[in-house]
């Protein structure tokens, strides 16, 4: 049995490492775009340059961790087998081995260097803010979010989690609406544009997190923190408050709707004109289109 383990473990370990390296970020599960999936174990699909870089770092560190764990396991099994009392009745009295001691000092240092270089690069890129195409101010409250658009006439929206009845109503309309994540008013941003988010709080410490963007920053009362993202894909992206903030901490989600620049300009124009009905209709049409549902205008015949 032990001989079979010593023979098969390296083969299984190699297969696992090949799978992880061949399919970064998806070796454990197929991950959803913009929201988690049932039984998901990996990261959500990346939708920004920072998130892709974060996923690469995640894959690198996991590869190193798995390799070390497998090496230690094989070494332990070998030692248990080779140096058991039965096979090694007279133990060695050797207490020092210069080459071995140098190796187990130098190799961990090299491993840490391999981890540190991409880690510092990622950290630098996260906090090197490119020139923004759009700035949004996110204000946390117990337990909902407010958003201001200072670049577009300084209009604002309030974002609350949808109730179960509201979720059911949207699902009937054909709009994918995940429970405990969907909100009544989503942030709207144009695709491929750099967005700066200024984050603060009116009461306690909250946290603005959108996993697919690789964005996570505390909302601190009396302070202004910031994060940035550049969405590369259209769609709806969900996040949540990731700081334990009180009774309804689990019920203040974040919704970001990424649309084309033309749609964003149309929506922003409606919001500036305080025509919230038109703005909601624009977003509803976009939500249906992104979900692959044909709208009335799509079904209408072209004019002759």
Q: What is the mean pLDDT of residues 110-125?
A: 95
pLDDT, average across residues 70-83: 92
C-beta of residue 48 within 8 angstroms of C-beta of residue 230? yes
Mean pLDDT, rounded, for 210-228: 95
**What does the pLDDT read at residue 182?**
93
Instruction: Count how many domains the chain has.
Output: 2
Cα distance between residue 40 and residue 34, in whole Å: 13
Tokens of 178: 């995940």
Report residue 296 as tokens.
Answer: 């009335």
- Pair (139, 189) in one structural domain: yes
Assign residue 92 a region (left: φ > 0; alpha: ψ between -120 and 50; beta: otherwise).
beta
Query: Per the domain annotation, does 71 fall within a domain?
Result: yes
pLDDT at 25 over 80: no
Q: For residue 299, is it within any domain?
A: no
Describe the crossing of helices 49-82 and 98-126 by its angle, rounded to 10 degrees. Answer: 160
Residue 253 lies in a domain: yes
> In this predicted structure, what is the pLDDT of residue 295?
60
Q: pLDDT-based confidence at 15, cuts 50/70/90?
A: very low
In a domain, 120, yes or no: yes
Residue 94 belongs to a domain: no
Tokens standing for residue 66: 């798995």
Three-state DSSP state, 215: strand
235, 254 Cβ separation under 8 angstroms: no
Find the domain containing 213 and state its range. 134-293
Whole-model pTM? 0.79
**143 pLDDT higher than 50:** yes
Q: Is the pLDDT of residue 14 over 60?
A: no
Indicate if the pLDDT at residue 13 is higher than 70.
no
- Whether residue 97 has pLDDT greater than 80: yes
Mean per-residue pLDDT, 53-74: 95
Regarding whether 182 and 43 lie in a shared domain, the answer is no
d(CA 133, CA 78): 59
Q: What is the CATH number of the domain that holds 28?
A: 1.10.287
Strands 155-159 and 144-149 turn out to be antiparallel
Per-residue model confidence as pLDDT tens digits over 171-185: 998 888 899 999 999
Collapsing DSSP to helix, strand or coil, 198 comes out as strand
pLDDT score, position 165? 93
Is residue 88's pLDDT more than 90? no
């Amino acid at each position: 049995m032990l001989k079979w383990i010593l023979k098969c473990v390296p083969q299984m370990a190699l297969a696992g490492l090949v799978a992880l390296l061949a399919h970064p970020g998806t070796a454990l599960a197929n991950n959803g775009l913009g929201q988690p999936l049932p039984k998901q174990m990996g990261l959500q699909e990346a939708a920004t340059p920072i998130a892709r870089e974060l996923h690469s770092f995640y894959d690198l560190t996991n590869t190193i961790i798995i390799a070390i764990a497998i090496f230690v396991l094989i070494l332990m099994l070998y030692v248990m087998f080779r140096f058991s009392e039965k096979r090694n009745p007279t133990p060695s009295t050797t207490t020092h081995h210069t080459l071995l001691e140098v190796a187990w000092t130098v190799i961990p240092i090299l491993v840490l260097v391999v981890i540190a270089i991409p880690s510092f690069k990622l950290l630098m890129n996260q906090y090197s803010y490119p020139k923004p195409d759009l700035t949004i101010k996110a204000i946390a409250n117990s337990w909902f979010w407010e958003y201001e658009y200072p670049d577009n006439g300084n209009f604002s929206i309030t974002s609350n989690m949808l109730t179960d009845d509201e979720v059911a109503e949207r699902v009937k309309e054909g709009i994918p609406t995940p429970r405990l994540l969907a909100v009544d008013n989503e942030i709207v941003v144009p695709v491929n544009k750099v967005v700066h988010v200024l984050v603060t709080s009116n009461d306690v410490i909250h946290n603005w997190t959108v996993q697919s963007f690789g964005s996570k920053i505390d909302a601190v009362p009396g302070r202004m923190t910031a994060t940035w993202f550049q969405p590369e894909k259209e769609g709806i992206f969900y996040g949540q408050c990731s700081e334990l903030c009180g009774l309804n901490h689990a019920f203040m989600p974040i919704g970001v709707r990424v649309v084309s620049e033309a749609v964003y300009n149309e929506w922003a124009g409606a919001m500036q004109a305080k025509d919230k009905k038109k703005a909601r209709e624009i977003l509803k049409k976009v939500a249906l289109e992104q979900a692959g549902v044909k709208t009335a205008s799509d079904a209408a015949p072209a004019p002759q």
